[in-house]
């Protein structure tokens, strides 16, 4: 909107790609309305199914290409859960795997031109982060009872400092879902918006070579970001889960 009035009918709407629109009507977006969000979430589910179910349909002893990718993802997330949260955490592996695969495919699908990036919305990432936050808190209290609160009472520190540290730890605990969700949404939104801005500049003959080069470059970077952010979100989930699952030595 800022750049709209350039005079030569040249307009860039970097944020337009994030608008939630109903697919089949122009009406308001109710909670049940089938929107572009629905479409791209469904595609992410389809991609997960394609890789993890269709890709492994032969159950081959010597894996095919798609099967070894599925096994790679399985092995990576499973090892991560096992190493970060300890052997006790392995039972939450399917949950972590769901998050990882969903975010990975949502991010990668968002890289398709003219697609809708579901994970660039705070609504989506905040839901994911809050799911993790509440699960960790509930699992922690169920497994340890009130002992879960010891997490905030840093026994390694001298006694007079402990109450202060407890307040800090408590605040950081509640800030976790915020940083957890904003990190993912922010990264994806910024990258996609920048690509859109450069793509807009590509309509100007003078700038187009530079703009197209920049789009290519940022696209490569965004591909990396898509995978890395899925990984980061997953490993942070494991780190938070460790507080609830592992022994009290913090």
Partner 1 sequence: MEHQVQDVAEAATGHAPHAGGMPQLDFTSWPNQIFWLLVALVAIYLLLTRVALPRIGAVLAERRGAITNDLLAAEELKQKARDAETAYNDALVRARAEAQAIVAKAKEAIDADLAAAVEKADAEIAQRVAVSEARINQIRAGMQDSVREVASETATALVAALGGQPDASVQSAVADRVKG
Interacting residues toward partner 1 by CB under 8 A = 1, 11, 13, 15-16, 18-20, 26-33, 35, 37-38, 41-42, 44-45, 48-49, 52-53, 56, 59-61, 63, 67, 70-71, 74-75, 93-95, 97-99, 101-102, 118, 120-124, 127-128, 131, 185, 189
Selection from 108, 77, 79, 111 nearest residue 94 by Cα: 77
Closer residue to partner 1 in complex, CB, 148/188:
188
Closer residue to partner 1 in complex, CB, 135/169:
135
Closest contact distance (angstroms) between CB of 86 and partner 1 is: 19
To the nearest 10 degrees (0 to 180), the angle between helices 208-245 and 93-110 is: 170
Question: Given its phi and psi angles, is residue 92 left (phi above 0), alpha (psi -120 to 50 degrees) or beta?
Answer: alpha
| 3-class DSSP state of 35 | strand
Closer residue to partner 1 in complex, CB, 114/156:
114
Closest contact distance (angstroms) between CB of 59 and partner 1 is: 5
Closest contact distance (angstroms) between CB of 61 and partner 1 is: 6
d(CA 45, CA 47) in angstroms, rounded, equals: 5
Closest contact distance (angstroms) between CB of 20 and partner 1 is: 4
Closest contact distance (angstroms) between CB of 207 and partner 1 is: 21
d(CA 88, CA 241) in angstroms, rounded, equals: 10
Q: What is the 3-state secondary structure (H, E, C) of 156-204?
A: CCCHHHHHHHHHHHHHHHHHHHHHHHHHHHHHHHHHHHHHHHHHHHCCC
d(CA 215, CA 198) in angstroms, rounded, equals: 6
Closer residue to partner 1 in complex, CB, 53/210:
53
Largest CA distance in the chain: 68
d(CA 119, CA 234) in angstroms, rounded, equals: 14
Handedness of CA 119, 121, 122, 128 (dihedral sign): negative
Closest contact distance (angstroms) between CB of 29 and partner 1 is: 5
Closer residue to partner 1 in complex, CB, 127/248:
127
Closer residue to partner 1 in complex, CB, 59/249:
59
């Amino acid at each position: 909107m800022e750049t709209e009035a350039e005079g030569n009918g040249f307009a860039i709407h970097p944020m337009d790609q994030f608008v939630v629109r109903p697919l089949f009507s122009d009406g308001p977006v109710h909670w049940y309305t089938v929107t572009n969000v629905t479409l791209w979430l469904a595609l992410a589910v389809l991609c997960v199914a394609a890789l993890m179910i269709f890709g492994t349909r032969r159950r081959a002893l010597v894996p095919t290409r798609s099967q070894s990718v599925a096994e790679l993802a399985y092995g990576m997330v499973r090892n991560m859960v096992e190493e970060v949260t300890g052997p006790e955490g392995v039972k939450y592996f399917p949950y972590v795997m769901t998050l990882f695969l969903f975010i990975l495919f949502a991010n990668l699908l968002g890289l398709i031109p003219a697609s809708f990036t579901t994970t660039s919305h705070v609504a989506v990432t905040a839901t994911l982060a809050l799911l993790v936050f509440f699960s960790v808190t509930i699992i922690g209290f169920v497994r340890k009872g009130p002992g879960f609160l010891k997490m905030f009472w840093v026994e390694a520190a001298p006694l007079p400092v402990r109450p202060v540290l407890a307040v800090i730890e408590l605040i950081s605990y509640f800030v976790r879902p915020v940083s957890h969700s904003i990190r993912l949404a922010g990264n994806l939104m910024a990258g996609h918006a920048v690509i859109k801005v450069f793509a807009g500049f590509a309509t100007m003959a003078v700038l187009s070579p530079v703009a197209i080069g920049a789009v290519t470059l940022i696209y490569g970077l965004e591909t990396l970001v898509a995978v890395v952010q899925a990984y980061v979100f997953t490993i942070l989930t494991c780190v938070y889960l460790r507080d609830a699952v592992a022994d009290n030595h913090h």
